[in-house]
Amino acid sequence: MPIRVLPPAVAAQVRAGEVVERPASVVKELLDNSLDAGADTITVEIRQGGLELIRVTDNGLGIPAAEAELAFARHATSKISTAADLGRIRTLGFRGEALPSIAAVAQVSLLTRPPDQPAALFLALEGGVVRHREFRPGPPGTTVTVRHLFYNTPARRRFLRSPAAEGQQILHLLWHYAVTFPEVRFTLLSDGREVLGCGGQSDPAAILARLIGPEMADRLVTVEQADLEGAPLHLRAVLAPPDLARPTRQWLFFAVNRRPVQGRLLALAVEEAYRPYLPDGRHPVGVFHLTVPVDEVDVNVHPAKTEVRLRRERAVFALLQRTVRSALLDLAPLPVVSRVTVVEPPAPAAQPALPLSPVPPAARPASPADSRPASAPTTGRWPALRVLGQVQNTYIVAEGPDGLYVIDQHAAHERVRYEELRAQRARGGLAAQALLEPLVVDLPPEHRAVAEEQATTLAELGFTVEPFGPGSLLVRTVPAGLRSGPAEALGALLQAMALGRPPAEETDPLLATLACHSAVRAGDPLTPEAMIELVERLEGVMHSRYCPHGRPTVLRLSASQLERDFQRR
């Protein structure tokens, strides 16, 4: 289709808005144009994080000389012509706004040659107006050079971050395009240095491994799923196992009908499916290519085209979760012990063995809620384990259908207690038990103010306290099931309150503190009944593979590894 200015009625339906916010948005628009032109080799060159220069060179179809100037007119596009076309967009661009928007805020030049044209046309623009036009020798394809972005709009320049930060965004954008179009060769040069070079492959997994690191190479799995109810939805996903999760969210990439999108909701679906397998602060790694009928996705919702609206959002969400969950079941057995160590026989119990839920002698339960065993929500996905015994008064050893399991009794109990406390809190407050004798606790000065300010929260957590003279508190109730001394637990809680809650943390640090102080410790001898109870309760909770602080609760020595190491095979 030749480039034409859209009729006003069609242009009016195009989602207006600012296309050019920062260097990365310029790069994005130029990449879209190159891909729409069928390029399979694209080089991006930036200087000073794109603030000084952005140049995108492709080997695509080029723009015929007669149309090149028109490409810089508002709403001029070769990709759609009618309002109906807006409902079936197959190209990345469609609004005819990128080139004029960029040319309005930077010094732009274009060098473009369709393969059947003998020479390339060169245009140089200033303030959106063509200042120079000539034919030059040049290879087929198109090069757009953007210099001094926002040179004429200093207010917008002020919103930019450092060249390094802007450059980082461009790099991340290229990762996204590279995993979405694995067959296209992408190169990114930053201040003359090649910072990315990949492509020419059919498999997004190969690209992802290349971007992240060799440890991914043979660990990534590709799964495909379709939802055939109604018009078909299809998902192709590349997933990393949970042990290769990353400390940042930047390694999840989504594409809908081969359009790179942010997909906040899609990311939520994936993160949720991974959550039981990941310690806090770790995020999944994966590439998700969704294919949906073209009339079920609205691309025209956001000026930067980075979000789309899906007509059957719920079905897509469910498809994603289903796919990821089932892949993870295969992919993420419990952490496997990678080296065999000699298991020492349990040390003779020096202290009498404890049952799991003692009630402190000087206390009576104020609420029975805590003494109930955890009712099991279903998602633990644990094999049934048979407890064999305790090692070093610290680990519970158990047998499962596929090997030997070693459970860290403190980490496991901490997780169980954490989930119980969370459930109690959701029901309105933690179960408390009254002390027969109120206890006077001396506080260090830094905790006094916290204790006063947070008296209500303390009460919700089971600690009823009153000021008692200067620098002391009277403690009347404590959370049910506390194992540490009340003063010690209260001190730890006030400490956690003083630190506040880190915004990105999913674990509630106050509940984690209480869980820690109401869990059995390493070194506590346990009765066989207590061990069985603990393992059963662990089987029932979600997130059971890690304690609230992110340590694993269970390790597995697989049956096949035992066989191998004993040279039975």
Burial readout 343-378 (b: 16 or more C-beta within 10 A, e: otherwise): eeeeeeeeeeeeebbeebeebeebbebbeeebeeee
Work out which of 49, 50, 96, 167 binds ligand ADP, going by CB under 6 A: 96
Residue 3 and residue 66: Cα distance in Å, rounded? Answer: 10
Asked if 45 touches ligand ADP (CB under 6 A), the answer is no
3-state secondary structure 394-450: CEEEEEECCEEEEEEHHHHHHHHHHHHHHHHHHCCCCCEEEEEEEEEEECCHHHHHH
* Residues near ligand ADP (CB under 6 A), total: 23
- By a kind-dependent CB cut-off of 5 to 8 A, residue 109 interacts, out of Mg ion, ligand ADP, none, with none
Q: Which of residues 99-118 bind ligand ADP (CB under 6 A)?
A: 99
Choose the binding region for ligand ADP from 57-65, 271-279, 297-305, 520-528 (rule: CB under 6 A): 57-65
Smallest separation (angstroms) from ligand ADP to the CB of 114: 8
Which of Mg ion, ligand ADP, none lies near 520, with the C-beta cut-off 5 to 8 A by kind? none
Nearest to ligand ADP of 142, 454 (CB atom) = 142
CB of 14 to Mg ion, least distance (A): 12
Smallest CA-to-CA distance from 356 within 305, 390, 313 is with: 390
Q: Interface with ligand ADP includes 93 (CB under 6 A)?
A: yes
By CB under 6 A, residue 552 contacts ligand ADP: no
Closer CB to ligand ADP, 5 or 353, in the complex: 5
* Interface region with ligand ADP, contact rule CB under 6 A, candidates 92-100, 178-186, 287-295, 479-487: 92-100
CA 108 to chain centre: 36
Beta carbons of 254 and 266 less than 8 angstroms apart: yes
Least distance (Å) from Mg ion to the CB of residue 551?
Answer: 49
145 binds ligand ADP (CB under 6 A): no
**Residue 33 CB, nearest approach to Mg ion (Å):** 4
Instruction: Write out the residues near Mg ion by the rule CB under 5 A.
Output: 32-33, 93, 98
Interface residue with ligand ADP among 22, 25, 33, 176 (CB under 6 A) is 33
Give the pair of three-digit tokens for residue 332. 């993420």
The 3 state secondary structure assigned to 108-125 is EEEEEECCCCCCEEEEEE
* Identity at 149, one-letter amino acid code: L
Query: How many C-beta atoms lie closer than 10 Å to residue 332's C-beta?
Result: 18
Does 97 sit near ligand ADP (CB under 6 A)?
yes
Please, what's the b/e burial string for 187-216 (b: 16 or more CB within 10 A of its CB; e: otherwise)? bbbbeeeebbebbeeeebbbbbbbbbeeeb
Nearer CB in complex with ligand ADP: 97/414: 97
Q: Provide the CB-side half-sphere exposure for 440 (13 A, CA).
A: 6
Q: 96 is in the binding site of which of ligand ADP, Mg ion, none (Cβ under 5 to 8 A by kind)?
A: ligand ADP
Maximal CA-CA distance, the chain: 97
Q: Position 242: which residue type? A: P
Q: Which residue is nearest to ligand ADP (CB)?
A: 93
- Give yes or no for residue 142 binding ligand ADP (CB under 6 A): yes
Round to whole Å and give the CA distance between 519 and 390. Answer: 16
16/440 with CB nearer ligand ADP = 16
Q: Which residues, including other chains, have CB under 8 Å from residue 529's CB and lie 6 or more apart?
A: 355, 356
CB closer to ligand ADP, 79 vs 185: 79
* Cβ atoms of residues 145 and 55 within 8 Å: yes
Residue 37 touching ligand ADP (CB under 6 A): yes
How far are the Cα atoms of 68, 314, 394, 505, 542 from residue 245, in angstroms, in the given order?
A: 46, 26, 28, 16, 19
Residue type, position 565, single letter: D
Nearer to ligand ADP, 80 or 316 (CB): 80
Choose between 98 and 404: whose C-beta lies nearer to Mg ion: 98
Q: Which part of the chain contacts ligand ADP (CB under 6 A), choosing from 58-66, 280-288, 294-302, 489-497?
A: 58-66
Mark 61-80 with x for binding to ligand ADP (rule: CB under 6 A) and - for no binding.
Answer: xxx-------x----xxxx-
Q: Which of 135, 138, 173 is nearest to 46 (CA)?
A: 173
**Which residue in the set 50, 60, 128, 491 belongs to the binding site for ligand ADP (CB under 6 A)?**
60
Q: Which residues bind ligand ADP (CB under 6 A)?
A: 3, 29, 33-34, 37, 58, 60-63, 71, 76-79, 93-99, 142
